[in-house]
Amino acid sequence: MNKTELIEALAAKTDMSKAAAARALDGLTDIIGEKLAAGEQVAILGFGTFSTIERAARTGRNPSTGAEIKIAASKAPKFAPGKALKDAVKK
């Protein structure tokens, strides 16, 4: 399912227009991104928790040449599914 299909499904499920569903989805993703950038976590009960993890600097290898390269420290988004989502997928 891509973003367009998700917007169509959201509009059908909530009886709102596709434009309103698109604005709602864009607003949700913007808010989650802003909160993660600020170092906060976003928990949606029954769905899951969005958070960030810190990746330490490390040494890796270039797969083509085998040469060592330094990989800088970074932050990455993380998602932990909630129990209700896990149970829904198991069915």
**How does pLDDT run across 56-79, given as a tens digit for each residue?**
999 999 999 999 999 999 999 999
Q: Is 89 strand, coil or helix? A: helix
CA torsion sign for 67, 73, 75, 78 is positive
Per-residue pLDDT 10s for the chain (91 aa) are 999 999 999 999 999 999 999 999 999 999 999 999 999 999 999 999 999 999 999 999 999 999 999 999 999 999 999 999 999 999 7
State the architecture of 41-91 in CATH terms: Irregular (4.10)
Domain boundaries, the chain: 1-40, 41-91
Q: Residue 64 has what DSSP assignment?
A: T
pTM (predicted TM-score): 0.80
Please list, residue by residue across 66-84, b when 16 or more beta carbons sit within 10 angstroms of its beta carbon and e when fewer do. eeeeeeeeeeeeeeeeeee
Q: Which two tokens stand for residue 17?
A: 């227009």
